[in-house]
Amino acid sequence: MVLFAFVAVVGLYQAKAQVATPGVDQREGLQRERIRSGAASGELTRRETAHARRDQRSIRRTERRAKADGEVTRQERAQIQHKQNRASRQLRRNKHDAQVRPGA
Per-residue pLDDT tens digits for 51-97: 999 999 999 999 999 999 999 999 999 999 999 999 999 999 999 99
Size of the chain, expressed as the number of residues it contains: 104
Instruction: Tell me, yes or no, whether 54 lies in a domain.
Output: yes
d(CA 6, CA 23): 33
**Distance (Å, rounded) from C-alpha 95 to C-alpha 103?**
16
pLDDT tens string 1-34: 766 666 666 665 555 557 889 999 999 999 999 9
Q: Is residue 76 part of a domain?
A: yes
- Domain assignment present for residue 11? The answer is no
Domain count, the chain: 1
Domain membership flag for residue 74: yes
User: What is the pTM assigned to this prediction?
Assistant: 0.79
* pLDDT for 30: 97
In a domain, 88, yes or no: yes
* 64 inside domain: yes
Provide the CB-side half-sphere exposure for 72 (13 A, CA): 20
Listed residue (92, 81, 86) closest to 24, CA to CA: 81
> Which domain, by its residues, includes 70?
24-95
Contact 63, 80 (CB under 8 A): yes
